[in-house]
Amino acid sequence: MKLLLHEISVPLLKPFKISRGTVNEQTILIVELQKDGQSGFGEVGENGYYGHSLETMTESILRVTSRVESTCLSSGDAVWEAVNEQLSSDRFALSALDMAAQDLFAKLHGRPCYQEWGLQWTSLPESSFTISIGTPEEMVLQLKEQPGWRIYKIKLGVPDDIEIVRALRLHTDAVLRVDANCAWTVQEAITKSIVLKDLGVEFIEQPLPRESTKEEQELVYRESALPIIADESCCLPRDVERCAGAFHGINVKLCKCGGPTPALAMLKQARSLGLHTMIGCMLETSIGISAAAQLLPLLDYADLDGAILLGNDPAEGVTIDRGVVSLANRPGCGGRLKQ
Ligand SMILES: [Mg+2]
């Protein structure tokens, strides 16, 4: 196998604001694995919150390149198995490698990844579209610019949270979900959940900080009027069990856990524990979105609008039409660089 890296900087369609900052441009590292005339693609983006830069992720991948290139691709998870321990401190880099290897393995077999993973392409949830933080008027404008989605995810974590949801509700009957990105206190989460429920919100994602205690999480879990989904509090496979009894569901992201291989295991474990399952994304191209979309049959909720939020997606793959995900009709995950 041959490993190639491509660095890409993509300006966003418009600045994307959440409770801990604003992003104008996303820097992305694309991993390409070549074998027998086929290319498998994986990707990962820089992320300050999780502490991964282009430099650190490139360094991580270069550290394991010879090992990856000499791996016999006897299964989709062979690369993950080969470098998982060495990359235990850089799940982001591991994710891009695993994604590329799973894509390549399925391509060499002429089958889509979801089939390789034993999944049936049925009972698929629609994706939400994310509205980033702004004034209520700005957020209503974002909603109006993306009409027709059946689910919107609203970024919150500012003093006028409730006013924002009230304003949006006046303009849509769609399902609304909210994501506080760690910005609320226990009391705030409980109090706001009651009002948000009245406004027809379906669930709250990550109200408390990642550092919140199990007791605080359990209190919100018990007292909240709405289901609570863990995002920042659920990164690795070992986090799933801890989330049972402290959250109603988990939001798995490929980069947080280290790729499709652990994501598949986490979603299956979550379902066995009675947790709701969700897949989310970062600001990423259609390569990453196409890989995450292969897991849709295991999901209750999907948030896969990352490529739509980019100004100009340098890749192509699954398409999302107002939430409805369609496969690319190609083997593997279906994502590839344009040209
Ligand atoms: Mg989130």
Q: Is the pLDDT of residue 322 over 90?
A: yes
Residues annotated in a binding site: 179, 205, 231
Tell me what pLDDT residue 311 has: 81
CATH topology agreement for domains 2-111 and 116-337: no
Residues annotated in a binding site for Mg(2+): 179, 205, 231
Helix (H, G, I), strand (E, B) or coil at 248: coil
Q: What is the mean pLDDT of residues 1-13?
A: 96
Tell me what pLDDT residue 20 has: 86
Tell me what pLDDT residue 22 has: 92
Q: How far apart are CA 303 and CA 213, in angstroms?
A: 26
Q: Is the pLDDT of residue 339 over 90?
A: no
Spans of all domains in the chain: 2-111, 116-337
Q: What is the pLDDT of residues 240-281, one digit of tens each?
A: 999 999 999 999 999 999 999 999 999 999 999 999 999 999
Q: How far is the CA of 204 from the centre of ligand 1 (A)?
A: 9
CATH architecture of 116-337: Alpha-Beta Barrel (3.20)
Q: Which of 155, 192, 197, 214 is catalytic?
A: 155
To the query of whether residue 155 is one of the catalytic residues in this protein, the response is: yes
Residue 264's Cβ-count burial label (10 Å; 0-12, 13-18, 19+) is buried
Q: How far apart are CA 18 and CA 182, in angstroms?
A: 10
Q: How far is the CA of 205 from the centre of ligand 1 (A)?
A: 6
Q: How far is the CA of 179 from the centre of ligand 1 (A)?
A: 6
**Of 32, 49, 50, residue with least CA distance to 41:** 32
CB neighbourhood size of 56 (10 A): 15
Tell me what pLDDT residue 121 has: 96
Q: How far apart are CA 159 and CA 77, in angstroms?
A: 45
Of 13-22, 244-253, 278-287, 329-338, the least confident: 13-22
Q: How far is the CA of 280 from the centre of ligand 1 (A)?
A: 7
User: Predicted confidence band at 57 (pLDDT cuts at 50, 70, 90)?
Assistant: very high
Q: Is the pLDDT of residue 63 over 90?
A: yes
What percent of the chain is modeled with pLDDT above 90?
A: 97
Q: Which of 107, 153, 192, 253 is catalytic?
A: 253
To the query of whether residue 253 is one of the catalytic residues in this protein, the response is: yes
Strand 175-179 versus strand 201-205 pairing type: parallel
Q: What is the pLDDT of residues 160-172, one digit of tens each?
A: 999 999 999 999 9
Q: Domain 2-111 classified CATH 3.30.390.10?
A: yes
Tell me which H or E stretch contains 249.
Answer: strand 249-252
